[in-house]
Amino acid sequence: MAQNDHTAARNDHPRARPRIAFLGLGHMGAPMARRLLAAGYRLTVWNRTAAKAEPLVAEGARLGSCPADAVRDADVVVTMLAGPDALRAVADALVPVLRDGVRWVDMSTVGPDAVRELGGRVPDGVTLVDAPVTGSTDKAAAGELGILAGGDATEVEPVLAHLGTVTRTGPLGSGAALKLVVNTAVLGGVALVAEAMALADALGLDEEVARGALARGPLAGAVARAFANGVHFGNDLAVKDVALATDTTRLPALEAVLAHFRAAAADQDLAHEDIARAVPHIRTRARTHHSYRS
């Protein structure tokens, strides 16, 4: 066997692979962590609600008792958390214990300011990469996410490749910035479809005819997402993402979108449900408002 073949064989051995700590096992984090476990990585997991880690532990992952314990021996740390506040809380526990040479990949949707803040906190010798994802739970389970990687992602690309396709976006924070652009476009499209269907309702059009016409036009992707099943992007998380965008610059159309999702998230039955569930909510509000005006 040639020397390069020997080297490749050694690097492919499970013990040569980086040890990974995965923190955050929500709707997206759990299937992503499962992909890494199935790929043969030595995986330690942690989640604020420990019960969510039990299926992965049963499949061979080690359970970290706390964030610091989870990253104790890790070469790569992956965080997939709900928002900036959750990331800051976990960072408080991680920053003092991270070893020299660790790669920290934050895959949360937190916006570029939070990423840059975190970049100012990590110790020298720790490489931070922001790599939020596009795609929902179905893509996470299939390893078909879009991964928007800002910063020096070279060393972690082989790990990220098990989760989807990596797009290098530029310096640290650029992945988080592009994710806000992508998410707000999706959410704006879903809200626009909901309003278009509300207009169809008000005009007395057949629902299937109106929906079919929209699906054959430039909003086809937004129509598919507005009526999707089997995926998950919570209305509460939609509020968080659009608010991050509208806090960045003046976006009048997205301020209206934010109001729609805030109204949906204020409903306890809808707050943690998928954004598709906001569509009938928006349509109902439009009908109620029309009746009031009449």
Question: Which residues are known to be catalytic?
Answer: 179
Q: What is the largest CA-CA distance in the chain?
A: 83
CA 274, chain centre distance (Å): 13
Chain position carrying tokens 């909003």: 219
**DSSP assignment of 72-117, as one string?**
TT-SEEEE--SSHHHHHHHHHHHTTTPPTT-EEEE-S---HHHHHH
The one-letter amino acid at 82: A
**Residue 147, strand partner residues:** 133, 166
Residue pair 130/166 in contact (Cβ under 8 Å)? The answer is no
Neighbours of 14 (CB within 10 A): 9
